[in-house]
């Protein structure tokens, strides 16, 4: 499979099989995330893997309750990864202030997608999760108060047959132009 094949194959998975994920596969996904680029090579991330059944149940119950219960499909994932946003390097933070850009969010986005594409290659389904109770996640995983958890990843095996619809994406001509924004289609 080429990289583009893997990208085309990936979907957000919201139904998981009751099958544990091998630690060796998770280590490969973490290696892909570890090698991600970041502004000033800041690497402002930590990945907390929750695969202990009891711990995961406790985490999911707290993270996906109340207003966040729309994400409760993730309770069935055998594994949840909390992507912790660490303090970026001084230079990245200064650059971000001057540019008014939160580079650390770009960094963790790239690292998370590296993880997800590696998972896809290994036959694992994933879903980005941005809608969860961050405070509860931090308390349960003992994440320091001054860190953020902007993203969780649900990971597990899945039944591919259930989600084989085409990607819903804008056509190429609507989102690209060469040499000037003027060429971008409406």
Q: Residue numbers of the site for ligand FMN (CB under 6 A)?
A: 11-12, 14, 71, 127-131, 167
CA–CA distances in Å: residue 99 to residues 87, 108, 129, 178, 179: 17, 18, 27, 25, 23
Give min distance, CB of 90 to ligand FMN, in A: 26
Would you say 42 or 126 has its CB closer to ligand FMN?
Answer: 126
Give min distance, CB of 158 to ligand FMN, in A: 12
Would you say 50 or 89 has its CB closer to ligand FMN?
Answer: 50
Q: Which residues pair with 50 in a beta bridge?
A: 80
- Using only C-alpha atoms, the chain has a radius of gyration, in whole angstroms, of 18
Which residue from 108, 102, 93 is spatially nearest to 43, judged by alpha carbons?
108
Would you say 128 or 157 has its CB closer to ligand FMN?
Answer: 128
Would you say 89 or 114 has its CB closer to ligand FMN?
Answer: 114
Give min distance, CB of 52 to ligand FMN, in A: 23
Give min distance, CB of 103 to ligand FMN, in A: 16
Please list, in sequence order, all residues whose beta carbon lies within 8 angstroms of the beta carbon of residue 77, skipping any fewer than 6 positions away.
16, 127, 154, 155, 156
Which residue from 164, 163, 10, 149 is spatially nearest to 80, judged by alpha carbons?
149
Give min distance, CB of 112 to ligand FMN, in A: 8
Kind and range of the H or E element at 63?
Answer: helix 53-63
Would you say 89 or 104 has its CB closer to ligand FMN?
Answer: 104
């Amino acid at each position: 499979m080429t990289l583009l094949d893997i990208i085309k194959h990936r979907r957000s998975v919201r139904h998981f099989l009751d099958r544990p994920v091998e630690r060796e596969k998770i280590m490969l996904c973490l290696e892909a995330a570890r090698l991600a680029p970041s502004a000033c090579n800041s690497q402002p991330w930590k990945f907390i893997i929750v695969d202990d059944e009891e711990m995961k149940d406790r985490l999911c119950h707290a993270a996906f309750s109340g207003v966040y219960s729309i994400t409760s499909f993730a309770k069935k994932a055998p594994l949840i990864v909390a992507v912790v946003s660490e303090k970026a390097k001084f230079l990245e933070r200064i650059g971000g202030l001057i540019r008014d850009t939160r580079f650390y969010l770009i960094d963790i986005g790239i690292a998370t997608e590296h993880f997800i594409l590696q998972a896809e290659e290994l036959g694992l389904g994933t879903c980005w999760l941005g809608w969860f109770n961050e405070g509860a996640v931090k308390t349960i995983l003992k994440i320091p108060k001054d860190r953020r958890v902007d993203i969780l990843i649900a990971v597990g095996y899945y039944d591919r047959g259930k989600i084989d619809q085409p990607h819903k994406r804008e056509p190429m001509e609507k989102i690209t132009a060469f040499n000037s924004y003027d060429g971008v289609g409406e």
